[in-house]
């Protein structure tokens, strides 16, 4: 009898875990397969950001800036792909789904909202990693940037924690933007350029005032970019804002905070939609 009771308690959990992971795979699949079906998107996603990167490279060389700055620009240009994916592919996703009439299906489905957004994040992350990698390789070859990785494990940890915190923030924003309604589009446009500045995409973040840089560290890309530059670019430690170990700890904390906040907000939205039935209607 005791064994049967234990088994009965475990079965729902196993089904729940299977449903979660199947939902993640199901939502990631369309974004991954789109790479094969829409090859023209990949070309535009690579060439257009590379033009913007080239502009900063030419400006720095015209000013006789240190060669490390060219590496900062190439690495920052590659990481912009992730920020744009978080804004346009994650943060405003639920708002767009409501406008297209799909949000009600997500609310009614037995799969948790966290799994749905996580699948979207993993699918978008795969496509974006490919785009960022190509920009990094092409930019390095075209402009003769020397990249030297001395510690692969810390670099991998920084990259993964940066993505975890960044996409956790994207899932949190997805809930907030849905509550804002029509203002979601304006918030997406508002956040795009200021983050380029505060995160130091094209210059060392330590160039900002100290407390401005500290406040900017609440954006995961600020700490992630600074740590990766120290680990990848020769003489990068000279321009670092904080030691890599401190930035790793900060990214770990941000990951936990943003993912927990996303889970709380998604549960709140799902409960609100079921109780009041006012989130799934398009307000035009």
Q: What's the pLDDT tens digit per position in 124-159?
A: 777 778 788 888 888 888 888 777 777 788 888 998
Give the domain range for residue 181.
Answer: 22-276
Mean pLDDT of the chain: 78
Residue 16 within a domain: no
Residue 121 within a domain: yes
Give the tokens for residue 145. 């940037």
Residue 3 within a domain: no
Measured between alpha carbons, how far is 246 from 208 in angstroms, rounded to an integer? 19
Lowest mean pLDDT among 125-129, 220-224, 266-270, 274-278: 274-278
Residue 76 within a domain: yes
Residue 220 within a domain: yes
Please, what's the largest Cα pairwise distance for the chain? 80
Residue 132 within a domain: yes
Residue 35 within a domain: yes
The band of 284, judged by pLDDT with boundaries at 50, 70 and 90, is very low
Indicate if the pLDDT at residue 113 is higher than 70: yes
Residue 42 within a domain: yes
User: Helix, strand, or coil here: 9?
Assistant: helix
H or E element at residue 44: helix 39-62
What domain count does the chain have? 1
Residue (of 35, 66, 94, 75) closest to 266 by Cα position: 94
pTM of the full structure: 0.79
The pLDDT of residue 256: 92
Q: What's the pLDDT tens digit per position in 206-217?
A: 888 888 888 888
The band of 43, judged by pLDDT with boundaries at 50, 70 and 90, is low
């Amino acid at each position: 009898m005791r064994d049967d009771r234990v088994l009965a308690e475990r079965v729902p959990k196993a089904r729940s875990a299977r449903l979660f992971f199947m939902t993640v795979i199901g939502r990631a699949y369309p974004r991954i397969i789109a790479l094969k079906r829409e090859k023209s998107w990949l070309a535009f996603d690579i060439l257009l950001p590379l033009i913007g990167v080239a502009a900063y490279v030419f400006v720095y060389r015209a000013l006789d800036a240190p060669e490390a700055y060219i590496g900062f620009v190439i690495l920052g240009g590659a990481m912009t792909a992730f920020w744009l994916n978080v804004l346009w592919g994650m943060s405003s996703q639920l708002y767009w789904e409501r406008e297209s009439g799909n949000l009600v299906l997500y609310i009614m489905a037995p799969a948790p909202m966290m799994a749905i957004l996580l699948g979207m994040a993993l699918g978008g992350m795969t496509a974006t990693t490919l785009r960022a990698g190509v920009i990094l390789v092409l930019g390095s070859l075209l402009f003769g940037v020397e990249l030297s990785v001395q510690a692969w494990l810390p670099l991998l940890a920084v990259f993964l924690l940066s993505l975890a915190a960044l996409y956790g923030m994207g899932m949190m924003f997805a809930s907030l933007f849905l509550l804002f309604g029509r203002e979601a589009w304006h918030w997406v446009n508002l956040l795009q350029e200021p983050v380029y500045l505060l995160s130091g995409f094209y210059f060392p973040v330590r160039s900002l005032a100290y407390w401005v840089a500290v406040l900017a560290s609440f954006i995961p890309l600020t700490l992630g970019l600074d740590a990766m530059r120290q680990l990848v670019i020769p003489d990068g430690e000279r321009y670092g804002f904080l030691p890599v170990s401190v930035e790793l700890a900060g990214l770990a904390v941000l990951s936990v905070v943003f993912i927990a906040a996303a889970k709380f907000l998604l549960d709140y939205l799902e409960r609100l939609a079921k109780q009041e039935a006012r989130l799934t209607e398009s307000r035009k």
